[in-house]
A and B are shown apart, each in its own frame.
Chain A
């Protein structure tokens, strides 16, 4: 089997209030967004980042809980909620995930199998409530991995190692939807580089290839997760979006390991 092409698919930015965060991020960067996508008790404002040489139609999903009632009924510790409550800058905003993409289901299955897991089922047609939905009824059918049977990832991997995704519908991709117009809006030209915690050895081991050669990543040796995303701007200066990752504000990971809701 040849090397699997891995690219940056999207970033999750956790927010206490995605509406406030998206408006503030746009004031900060000029990058606009679209609204209305949701899955279960979470909704996302989507920020397309453009199509750069490495970015391949990446986007940011600004995600937040939109069902306080459901949250109060949860019995397991909620890592993302706790992290967002703990963070102090940017009204609690955190990078809560880096998601990588592959170009086929076969690639996704191979990556997941190598890591000891499997792939989430494509049940978007029979179980839409478990998938992202848009207000026009579109259901985002994608598959992700690795899914670890039993729910717990092997101890050798820290929390917040990136997930892998296969999005079969390219025109329907989140990054390819129109954003809300706004004065002084800028046109993104793709992800130029990201700063990630940990080391190249760790991420390369996870990806099964040299991470620094596969995606435009730099490492800072700190807590695992995204720290910075640099986005090119058509006809303008790059913008750098800096937020801490979830792991940097969680002091005790052990309580989320078995049965806790991940960040």
Chain B
């Protein structure tokens, strides 16, 4: 089974401001208009079929009605030098549904259902509904959950339709990304290797571990004809002092 990078989630208080700032910082452009329920994403292709989803709420009314405490909200509310931006997830990819099911089972869960309701899937302004499956999926009320900060796994059946393969808005001084060169991740090689069920995680993905809170700390992206860019943001876990209050 080949495990590869699929995407990174970059949580933002205001995705418009965050993606415009990221464009200025790195030269990496984005698409607009993808949304699911009360969340929207600006998609930043990184080359090599990998992308960043700059995600944030676009429905303050729904968001403020959510049960509290809210782990992501509280992390983003922590001030930092990036207007509160945090890496909120790293998502890995596999090439078939069978592989995804195998991973889900190994981690004590299953795979997300292929919900028929488009409102439960990412939609684009042209009506495209992005159907994907992920694992491990734990039934609500099962008492099980994925350890915070460990990556989950995705199967995207539609390769041409992937966010990584959609055109970005044109903008002055855009750079062309050529793929992820390395990732600085929290925790240890041993923890990640166990989660991935491989002898050494950094042999299959370009990890560098820093021993800090779990999650993505930095992503280095190659640039066509130019210097690499490093996107550095803290992960959510770095800003949550007491994770126990979010458990139940």
- A→B interface (CB under 8 Å): 16-20, 22-23, 32-36, 38, 41, 43, 45, 64-72, 81, 84-85, 92, 133-137, 180-183
Q: Which chain B residues lie closer than 8 Å to A69 at the CB level?
A: 13-14, 73, 76-77, 84
Q: Would you list the 4 A-B pairs with minimal beta carbon distance, nearest first? A: A38-B16, A36-B32, A135-B169, A17-B59
Is B56 an interface residue, CB under 8 A from the partner?
A: yes
Q: Which one, B103-111, B119-127, B222-230, B235-243, is touching chain A?
A: B119-127
Q: Which chain B residues lie closer than 8 Å to A67 at the CB level?
A: 13-14, 17, 56, 60
Total residue contacts A-B, CB cutoff 8 A:
103
Is B247 an interface residue, CB under 8 A from the partner?
A: no
Task: Determine if A23 and B63 form an interchain contact, defined as CB atoms under 8 angstroms apart.
Answer: no
Q: Which chain A residues lie closer than 8 Å to B58 at the CB level?
A: 17-19, 43, 64, 66
Known: A64-B58, A67-B14. A135 touches B127 (CB 8 A): no
A-B contact pairs, 21 of them (CB 8 A): A16-B60, A16-B61, A17-B61, A18-B58, A36-B16, A36-B33, A41-B14, A43-B16, A66-B58, A66-B60, A67-B17, A67-B56, A68-B13, A68-B63, A69-B77, A70-B14, A133-B20, A135-B42, A136-B170, A136-B171, A180-B126
B29 to chain A, nearest CB (A): 8
How far apart sit A58 and B154, CA to CA, in the bound complex (Å)? 43
Task: Determine if A84 and B32 form an interchain contact, defined as CB atoms under 8 angstroms apart.
Answer: no
Task: Determine if B14 and A66 form an interchain contact, defined as CB atoms under 8 angstroms apart.
Answer: yes
Complex interface residues of chain B between 44 and 89 (CB less than 8 A to chain A): 56-64, 73, 76-77, 84
- In addition to A16-B61, A38-B14, A66-B15, 20 A-B residue pairs with Cβ atoms within 8 Å of each other are A16-B62, A17-B62, A20-B59, A23-B123, A23-B127, A35-B32, A43-B58, A45-B125, A64-B59, A67-B13, A68-B64, A69-B14, A69-B73, A70-B14, A85-B61, A133-B16, A135-B19, A136-B170, A182-B125, A182-B127
Please tell me the number of chain B residues within 8 Å of chain A, measured between CB atoms.
37
How far apart sit A112 and B67, CA to CA, in the bound complex (Å)? 46
Contact indicator per residue, chain B 142-172, by CB within 8 Å of chain A (1) or not (0): 0000000000000000000000000001111
Task: Determine if B16 and A19 form an interchain contact, defined as CB atoms under 8 angstroms apart.
Answer: no
How far apart sit A32 and B33, CA to CA, in the bound complex (Å)? 13
When C-beta atoms are compared, the residue in chain A nearest to B16 turns out to be A38
Known: A69-B84, A180-B126. A137 touches B171 (CB 8 A): yes
How far apart sit A72 and B169, CA to CA, in the bound complex (Å)? 31
How far apart sit A89 and B35, CA to CA, in the bound complex (Å)? 22
Q: Which chain B residues lie closer than 8 Å to A34 at the CB level?
A: 125
Known: A19-B35, A19-B40. A68 touches B60 (CB 8 A): yes
Known: A70-B14, A180-B125, A182-B127. A135 touches B61 (CB 8 A): no
Task: Determine if B38 and A17 form an interchain contact, defined as CB atoms under 8 angstroms apart.
Answer: yes
A86 to chain B, nearest CB (A): 11
Task: Determine if A35 and B33 form an interchain contact, defined as CB atoms under 8 angstroms apart.
Answer: yes
B20 to chain A, nearest CB (A): 7
How far apart sit A7 and B47, CA to CA, in the bound complex (Å)? 47
A172 to chain B, nearest CB (A): 15
Contact indicator per residue, chain B 1-45, by CB within 8 Å of chain A (1) or not (0): 000000000000111110110000000011011010010101000
Known: A68-B57, A71-B60, A135-B32. A183 touches B169 (CB 8 A): no
A84 to chain B, nearest CB (A): 6
A36 to chain B, nearest CB (A): 4
Contact indicator per residue, chain B 92-105, by CB within 8 Å of chain A (1) or not (0): 00000000000000
Task: Determine if A135 and B125 form an interchain contact, defined as CB atoms under 8 angstroms apart.
Answer: no
Task: Determine if B125 and A22 form an interchain contact, defined as CB atoms under 8 angstroms apart.
Answer: yes
Complex interface residues of chain B between 169 and 183 (CB less than 8 A to chain A): 169-172
Known: A17-B38, A92-B61, A135-B169. A182 touches B126 (CB 8 A): yes
A51 to chain B, nearest CB (A): 23
Q: Which chain B residues lie closer than 8 Å to A43 at the CB level?
A: 16, 58
How far apart sit A68 and B73, CA to CA, in the bound complex (Å)? 9
B117 to chain A, nearest CB (A): 13
A45 to chain B, nearest CB (A): 8
Task: Determine if B57 and A66 form an interchain contact, defined as CB atoms under 8 angstroms apart.
Answer: yes
Q: Interface centre among A20, A22, A23, A67, by most B CB within 10 Å?
A: A67
